[in-house]
Structure 1
């Protein structure tokens, strides 16, 4: 089962909504500190509703600590960024993939993207890169879009 990773998330409701998606899909959620909020934040808990007992949550003190865990467990590290060179739908997902999303305000640092096995993008015709005004999708929306594509592919593979 792919894992969702949030690099230094800043907005509690976004992380709470991602946590709810993780609970619904039995997907591990990894948070890389520092966080822009306290884990006990009221808005974080509210966005996650009463699903927190079903969230398989892992916290990592920093990028280096996360990388040690990720390398120990294996699997590809897939960065998601508007600067990605490959659409997320063109990748064949594997059960042990790590889906890495950046900060809401600044995305993923270049040195973090450099550590990834691939850098994927969610195509957005209305983005600033295509003459529109949208810089990015909401973090919870982006995480859900990519996670459900990975799960769709993996379910199809297991049905064959």
Structure 2
């Protein structure tokens, strides 16, 4: 099972979309406080649709609290500051992929300890960043692809007709 970590997320709609992506991929969602919204927020719940009961979610008071409860975890840091892209690394199914808050990303003092596992999504130089929920989907699905989409339904079915 993959693990998505959001460090101090600010926008409920992004967190809701990410929660939905985690639910449909059976990835765990780890939320590091402070959160920029209430977990009861209607926009958060709406973006996650009716998948909340499928979600494995964990809450932490700080990054250090997260580390203390996930000892030995291999953590990839998704950042615009990395020298390697998200396709340059090999993901395992129990890895953690952390994303920073929308306004500032992952603090540089954290990134310093993760030089070898920091990854970025290539973009034009004159642009700042992608939407957080899009970034999560891009990197998570690459990690799942590398692991042959383990455990995921890979064959779609028509509802009314047959292929």
TM-score by length of 2: 0.87
Aligned partner of 1:151 in structure 2 is 144
Instruction: Give the deviation of 1:75 after TM superposition.
Output: 2.9
Aligned partner of 2:92 in structure 1 is 94
2:6 aligns to what SS in structure 1?
Answer: strand
Q: 2:107 aligns with which of 102, 105, 109?
A: 109
Structure 1 segments (4+ residues) deviating >3 Å: none
* Partner Cα distance (1:123, 1:80) in 2: 11
For the structure 1 residues 156 and 52, does the alpha-carbon distance in structure 2 shift closer, same or farther, using more than 3 Å as the test? closer
Any unmatched runs of 5+ in structure 1?
none
- Structure (1/2) with the larger helix percentage: 1
Superposition map of 1:58-77 within 5 A: 58-71=58-71, 74-77=72-75
Q: Which has the larger radius of gyration?
A: 2
For the structure 1 residues 156 and 11, does the alpha-carbon distance in structure 2 shift closer, same or farther, using more than 3 Å as the test? closer
TM-score by length of 1: 0.89
Instruction: Give the deviation of 1:34 after TM superposition.
Output: 0.4
Aligned partner of 1:2 in structure 2 is 2
1:135 aligns to what SS in structure 2?
Answer: coil
Aligned partner of 1:14 in structure 2 is 14
For the structure 1 residues 56 and 156, does the alpha-carbon distance in structure 2 shift closer, same or farther, using more than 3 Å as the test? closer
* Partner Cα distance (1:17, 1:59) in 2: 17
Instruction: Give the deviation of 1:156 after TM superposition.
Output: 6.9
Write the deviation string for residues 60-106 of structure 1: whole angstroms up to 9, x where unpaired. 111111011121xx331110100011110010111221100000000
RMSD: 1.5
* Partner Cα distance (1:111, 1:30) in 2: 20
Any unmatched runs of 5+ in structure 2?
152-163
Say whether 1:138 aligns with 2:131: yes
Say whether 1:43 aligns with 2:40: no
**2:144–2:150 Cα contact (<8 Å) kept:** no
1:142 aligns to what SS in structure 2?
Answer: helix
